[in-house]
Amino acid sequence: MKKIENNLELAVQECAELAKWIQQNQGLLIDILLPIESQETVNDEIFKSIDALNNIAKEGISDFMPVGNGATFFPINLPFYSLVIFGIIPGIFAEKMFIRPPELMRGYMKRIFSVLPKMRLTQGLELCNCDRTEFMEDYVDKSKFVLFTGTLKNANIIRKKIRKDQVFIFNGQGINPVVISADANIALAVDKTCEVKRFNSGQDCAAADSIFVHADVYEAFKEKLIADLDQLHVGAYKEGATIGPLADPSHTLIAAEHLFKWRHSIGYGGQIDIHNAIVKPTIVECAAAEDANLKELFSPIWHLCKYETEEDLRKYFDQPPYREYAMYVSLFGTSDYLAQQQHTIVLKDLIIMDVERGNKEYGGYSIGASFVQFNGKTEARPILISREIKRAFFSVYQDNVDVILEVAANA
């Protein structure tokens, strides 16, 4: 058991020390990450990791206690920030934190682990390069909380094997549309819409999978977006490219299949470099809101849909397939319909990258976006990992605190 007294003060101090180390050793991390993501993405990972560690006290983890081991299934993107959010910070609550990265990320995670400073926050981490079955049997089974980031399909497979006394926390995916109304600031809307899909070459669950543009401003928006896409550097990240190879080369085949389906609606781009696993910036246009894209695309494909009325938006946002993955919508301008939504979190003139921070809850109120499963109950809601662990194991904290106070009183 970790030392109990002054846990919060010690955790805050160690997080600050690690944040300082990251700040001072950015060059090491850039060398590791730049082969697989753009400089923009690397900078964002480093910034948000430092920010999360420096603001750990905002998570309200006073009187925390280690509850046992933790296990986490890592995503394929943003490996260093994922380590901080899904490994190091939850590790405050764990005796050991077992981490299973995707096979394609194992070499990079090994390099990251090799340069981390030796301190309590990192010493409890264990990198587990094994298949899913072995990880479930040897590590998940002996953990009190389990974190999974990925698809709902895979989460449903794993959650069936989770015991009632284990907390299962799911960070999923959202469709996260962008809506540009007739009264939007077009320059701002184009800038943010370009950013939301160019970031990490579109490989982010926060990326917008459908972009609705009012008919009155559609042509002006498209023209300016194309001008911005023309300026993007495509190629190797080490050579300064913004759009580069996908982390999982097989995703180029998924993109190819998708573009083939929409081949008569490609308004810009449409090329795929299979050899280098690069999907070049592409615009696909859709005429009917109810036919707009509902599929997550881990690639730089901007799916535009022209709309004219609020009813057009309703046809898309009221669909059951959308509701299952409802998360965020970025609204530029105004929309009475979206202003009344209860199932989608509306961001005004912002994209998710503007608001997502490691110490704030993240996700949605749909089962495909995020949920917590514990003691036979499943609740879909935005997630803050430390809060979910504390809620589930509050009695554990209280019992341990009571024992400590009793021992201290009798000393």
The β-bridge partners of 403 are none
- Same domain? For 107 and 205 the reply is no
CATH number of the domain at 378, please: 3.40.605.10
- Same domain? For 24 and 146 the reply is yes
Tell me the C-alpha distance between 290 and 315, whole Å: 5
Last residue in a domain, options 317, 339, 355: 355
Residues 6+ apart with CB under 8 A from 197: 207, 208, 300, 301, 302
At 139 the pLDDT is: 97
Q: How far is CA 297 from CA 19, 183, 246, in A?
A: 32, 28, 11
- Same domain? For 323 and 221 the reply is yes
Tens digit of pLDDT per residue, the chain (411 long)? 344 445 677 888 999 999 999 999 999 999 999 999 999 999 999 999 999 999 998 887 766 678 899 999 999 999 999 999 999 999 998 999 999 999 999 999 999 999 999 998 999 999 999 999 999 999 999 999 999 999 999 999 999 999 999 999 999 988 999 999 999 999 999 999 999 999 999 999 889 999 999 999 999 999 999 999 999 999 999 999 999 999 999 999 999 999 999 999 999 999 999 999 999 999 999 988 888 999 888 999 999 999 999 999 999 999 999 999 999 999 999 999 999 988 899 999 999 999 999 999 999 999 999 999 999 999 999 999 999 998 888 755 554 544 444 444 555
- Same domain? For 252 and 397 the reply is no
Half-sphere exposure of 217 (CA within 13 A, CB side): 20
Tell me the C-alpha distance between 264 and 240, whole Å: 32
- Same domain? For 49 and 15 the reply is yes
At 395 the pLDDT is: 55
Tell me the C-alpha distance between 368 and 370, whole Å: 6
Residue type, 243: I
At 63 the pLDDT is: 63
Last residue in a domain, options 309, 325, 355: 355
Please give the tally of structural domains in the chain.
2
- Same domain? For 183 and 264 the reply is yes
- Same domain? For 41 and 167 the reply is yes
Q: Which domain holds residue 96?
A: 7-172+363-410
CATH number of the domain at 303, please: 3.40.309.10
At 393 the pLDDT is: 85
- Same domain? For 209 and 341 the reply is yes
- Structure token pair of residue 62: 């006073």
- Same domain? For 273 and 379 the reply is no
In a domain? residue 17 = yes
In a domain? residue 97 = yes
Q: Is 355 exposed, middle or buried (0-12, 13-18, 19+ CB in 10 A)?
A: middle
Residue with tokens 């469709």: 175
In a domain? residue 2 = no
At 407 the pLDDT is: 42
Predicted TM-score (pTM) of the model is 0.92
- Same domain? For 367 and 222 the reply is no
In a domain? residue 131 = yes
Q: What is the DSSP string of 122-191?
A: HHTEEE--S-HHHHHHHTGGG-SEEEEES-HHHHHHHHTT--TTSEEEEE------EEE-TTS-HHHHHH
- Same domain? For 89 and 160 the reply is yes
In a domain? residue 1 = no
Last residue in a domain, options 337, 355, 373: 355
